[in-house]
Amino acid sequence: MYALYTAPRTRGTRVVWVLEELGVDYELRIHAPRDNEIKALNPLRKLPVLVDGDLVLTESAAICTFLADRHRDSASLSPPCPSIERARFDAWNYYVLTDLETPVWTFTKNAVVYPEKIRVAEILPACKKEFQRSINALAHKLGENDYLLGSEFSVSDILCGHTLAWARSLEFDIGPDNVGAYADRVLARPALSRARARERDAAQAPAEADDAT
């Protein structure tokens, strides 16, 4: 069974969402980022981390893609490799992790995460501007499609939908109507509701979960 080291309302939600879409068994191990067990698994001391036997895998997008590729018989969340569709899938994932997520993460760090004395308030408007530029490109490329790859829902939508929800929670303008409708469509997936419920349940019983392992 997969063990996912994570915390609710982090990038770990992306992975729990994928696990729920796939319907595979997994166990959540709730930890604060930076604690000693996380440090032993990931020198960056960041979540999420997936453990499966000898495999210790970091980076939310790599974990989501690995799981989707491995369980393609359960649900089709990633195009086969090599293919034109796979190239488009990779391009969307890299776009989300760089152009879309970076301004949101830089904003978050400088608004709430960093100790106050090292926050740079002047950078916040630039983050919103960069995000807007990325959203405009998303609106243009998405067009009237239901999902980033067209009619097929995939891991790209999970990464993008999660990032749009994060941006909305910070009151970023996610812009044109087609992007708002896309975000609503993706974030209404029952697997995301189940993922959030699993995270909540696991977070309420971290001690018991640790004792059992």
Residue ranges binding ligand GSH (CB under 6 A)? 10-11, 33-34, 45-48, 59-61
**Nearest CB to ligand GSH, comparing residues 62 and 137:** 62
DSSP category for residue 112: I
Quote the tokens at residue 164. Answer: 């749009």
CB of 81 to ligand GSH, least distance (A): 21
**Nearest CB to ligand GSH, comparing residues 35 and 150:** 35
**Nearest CB to ligand GSH, comparing residues 5 and 175:** 5
CB of 33 to ligand GSH, least distance (A): 3
Cα dist. 191→4, 15, 41, 97, 195 in Å? 17, 11, 27, 22, 6
CB of 34 to ligand GSH, least distance (A): 5
The Cα 32–Cα 181 span in angstroms is 33
> Largest Cα–Cα distance of the chain, in whole Å?
50
**Nearest CB to ligand GSH, comparing residues 12 and 175:** 12
Q: Which residue has the tokens 């960041």?
A: 46
Main-chain phi, psi angles of 4, to 5 degrees: -115, 120
- Based on C-alpha coordinates, what's the Rg of the chain? 17
Q: Which residue has the tokens 């034109």?
A: 84
**Nearest CB to ligand GSH, comparing residues 42 and 154:** 42
Contact 16, 27 (CB under 8 A): no
Quote the tokens at residue 93. Answer: 């994932």
Contacts of 62 (CB under 8 A, 6+ apart): none
Contacts of 130 (CB under 8 A, 6+ apart): 99, 102, 103
**Nearest CB to ligand GSH, comparing residues 83 and 169:** 169
CB of 186 to ligand GSH, least distance (A): 18
CB of 75 to ligand GSH, least distance (A): 21
CB of 113 to ligand GSH, least distance (A): 7
